Chain A
Amino acid sequence: MTVHVDVGGRRRAVDVRRDGDRFLVSFDGRQHEVDVKVINGVWSMLVETVTRPVTGPAKAGPYDRNNARAGSPEDVGAGFSRPTRSYEIAFSPSAEGRLTVHVDGAPVEVSIDQIRRAGAAAAHAAGDGPQRVTAPMPGKIVKLLVKPGDKVQARQGVIVVEAMKMENELRARAAGTVSEVRVAEGTSVEAGAILVVLE
């Protein structure tokens, strides 16, 4: 999922993906692995920054893998995380549509493009050919509501996906016939994955 964030007049396209219980956040040509824990409304954010695409299994290493040090804790065994930068984050709504993000107590004013726009853009990119129902963010398939050959009405629900502990029903945007179901119940999907195709 792509979110547009403005700070100080500069707009950044930020790609956010879920990776297990972490987030992979990419912008300005860098990828960050982010662990968020919410304590009483305030976030503890642990960040590991990767400035080029990671190849191979993500194993132990220092928090900035480009400056890999000798003696990385690779051999201490599973369950130990890599070093990260620690930040404390708090949010407060500011003027119209803006958000004040406190980073270790220092306020930064940001504004965020409504997600709708990103969603609409994704839908548009799908084109006018076969209708594809895609996952707007990473999640798990809870229930298939259709099977190949079914006729569906416009706005009829076709699949239920769970993310962030919430079930969400995705609908067909126009009437059609199900030509393909690409996922099974119980499977996990990435953002943008094609779930169901209609003709």
Chain B
Amino acid sequence: MRRILVANRGEIAVRVIRACRDMGIETVAVYSDCDRGARHVRLADEAVHIGGNAPGESYLRVDRIVHAARQTSADGVHPGYGFLAENEEFAAACRDAGLTFIGPTPDAIALMGSKTAARQAAMQAGVPVVPGTEEPLGADVPEVAIAGMAERIGYPVMLKAVAGGGGKGMRLVTAAAELSSATRAARSEAQAAFGDPAIYLERRITRPRHIEIQLLGDRHGTVLPFVERECSIQRRHQKVIEETPSPVIDRELRLRMASDAAAIARSVGYTNAGTIEFLLDEQGHYYFLEMNTRLQVEHPITEMVTGIDLVQWQIRIARGERLAVDAEAAITPRGHAIECRVYAEDADAGFMPSPGRIAALRVPGGPGIRDDSGAEAGGEVPIFYDPLISKLVAWGADRSQAIARMRRALGEYDVVGIKTSIPFFRWMLQQPDFVEARFHTAYLDEVLRTRAGEPFTPAEDERIDMAVMAAAIHQVLGPNPMNPLNPMSPWKAAARAEGLRG
């Protein structure tokens, strides 16, 4: 492979371009109208404009991206994550055009992209799944039969509509006595909302932790599992902070989960990078959740503790190389790594997106810090795409050093012109629950509810004094490039006041 087209934008496009450059491979960027000046375009060797700002007009256009690859004689395509990364038609279109798709086969994407098929694959590989009923329970299934199933699954159970979504036809049942009325309610809600009363049962895992296993599979039958990542700090099911290793997993559990994850991947002939996600309950039982058939956003923390470049290996696997990685190095973390996803969001306004121009940017550095970013001073964060601007990663010899370094780096990080989630992370990294790793997937949403919008940056007297002082001097200095506020100089203002009196 000599030239790779990167079918993405933002920080992940930059990440892939860097891996290519490390390997002496040329790169082709694609871009939409508003990304003409974006960093990935300027870093790449070649760039092709593929359309309008809406993703459907550019980054999701299979035809234009494949055409761009042909035009530039690229021989490989890296999809990054998001956009077309888990679209089997895109993978197939690349293959059919004679391009190497840097990811799994179209069949593997299709199979593991289906929740039910993936669950079947996990069960066949002997991996625990969240206990539940495998067949839909139609209106003809008597309540007494459902009660028997619930007993076998174990309480608490969730009743869910087969045709469901959005919480409709969903009921939590904590004891057998509640089952009958909950079943009737769930069925009638499902009938009303979806025209289908069929439901299924699933064990409710209380306060689970999100644990996932990174995998690499080559085309010669080797599947390599990595040390787990914990991603339990989530806001509305979106990961916010990830770390590796998990503070609650010992080597014995790690090896079991890793071996199960690898078994699932092997059973479907999986190749390239992928991740098996599990829920871990409070008793230490884990259950297969789903598989992501792509590179993950949080892949850098795994790279930090194993020293293995996952993106380079994606490329090497795609060009047919054998996985020449020490299995022990992949599963044994060296130190600890944490990632904060820095979003262009106003954390104090309910994490509302805050697109716009970055007026000034101070990026942290120093020991143990890695900032995978697509942003820069003077650059725009467009309104059309995911507002992730950077992934800040801290590595330490142990968890407490990683936390200390992350706090230091967050303190140095300054993004001027748009709001970011950095103030939230500064607050989060100070919380005793975080420091002591007492969290689960619903933890952050619960905490945010109880805080009820209290600002993340405490009003410290010293900081306010300095802001007052700076604002006053800023005002006195009058109009100049540093003063975006006041077009009128104090001199002119004073002269005008005099004049007006006359």
A interface vs B, CB < 8 Å?
1, 3, 5, 7-8, 12, 14, 16, 23, 25, 27-28, 32, 34, 36, 38, 40-43, 45, 47, 87-93, 97, 99, 101-108, 110, 112, 114-116, 119-120, 122-124, 133, 136-137, 154-155, 161, 163-164, 166, 168-174
Q: Which of A102, A108, A115, A166 contacts B488 (CB 8 A)?
A: A115
The answer to whether B70 has its CB under 8 Å from any CB of chain A is no
A112 close to B414 (CB less than 8 A):
no
Tell me how far the C-beta of A31 lies from the nearest C-beta in chain B, rounded to whole angstroms.
11
Q: Which of B474, B494, B498, B501 contacts A91 (CB 8 A)?
A: B474
Tell me how far the C-beta of B457 lies from the nearest C-beta in chain A, rounded to whole angstroms.
5
Tell me how far the C-beta of A135 lies from the nearest C-beta in chain B, rounded to whole angstroms.
9
Q: Which of B475-498 contact A (CB under 8 A)?
A: 475-478, 480-486, 488-498
Q: For the side of the interface on B, what is the size category?
A: 35 or more
B interface vs A, CB < 8 Å?
359-360, 362, 411-414, 416-417, 419, 422-423, 426, 457, 459, 463-478, 480-486, 488-502
The winner among A25, A91, A122 for most chain B CB atoms within 10 A is A91
In Å, the complex CA distance between A99 and B467 comes to 10
A123 close to B473 (CB less than 8 A):
no
In Å, the complex CA distance between A106 and B412 comes to 10
A164 close to B493 (CB less than 8 A):
no
B471 close to A112 (CB less than 8 A):
yes
In Å, the complex CA distance between A108 and B497 comes to 30
The answer to whether A25 and B485 touch (CB under 8 A), given A102-B414, A116-B493, A123-B498, is no
B468 close to A5 (CB less than 8 A):
yes
Who on chain A is nearest to B364 by CB?
A105
The winner among B457, B474, B494 for most chain A CB atoms within 10 A is B494
The answer to whether A108 and B360 touch (CB under 8 A), given A115-B493, A120-B497, is no
In Å, the complex CA distance between A120 and B422 comes to 41
B360 close to A40 (CB less than 8 A):
yes
In Å, the complex CA distance between A45 and B463 comes to 13
Interface of A is mostly: strand
A112 close to B466 (CB less than 8 A):
no
B468 close to A119 (CB less than 8 A):
no
B498 close to A115 (CB less than 8 A):
no
B411 close to A99 (CB less than 8 A):
no
| Beyond A23-B473, A45-B466, A91-B483, 19 additional pairs, beta carbon < 8 A | A5-B471, A7-B468, A8-B459, A27-B472, A89-B470, A92-B417, A101-B466, A104-B411, A107-B419, A108-B467, A114-B488, A119-B496, A123-B494, A133-B498, A163-B491, A164-B477, A168-B495, A170-B498, A174-B501
Q: Which residues of A contact B413 (CB under 8 A)?
A: 105
Q: Which of B471, B473, B495 contacts A99 (CB 8 A)?
A: B471
The winner among B359, B423, B501 for most chain A CB atoms within 10 A is B501
A166 close to B491 (CB less than 8 A):
yes
Q: Which of B465, B472, B480, B491 contacts A16 (CB 8 A)?
A: B472
Tell me how far the C-beta of A196 lies from the nearest C-beta in chain B, rounded to whole angstroms.
11
Q: Which residues of A contact B426 (CB under 8 A)?
A: 106
Q: Which of B472, B477, B482, B483 contacts A14 (CB 8 A)?
A: B472
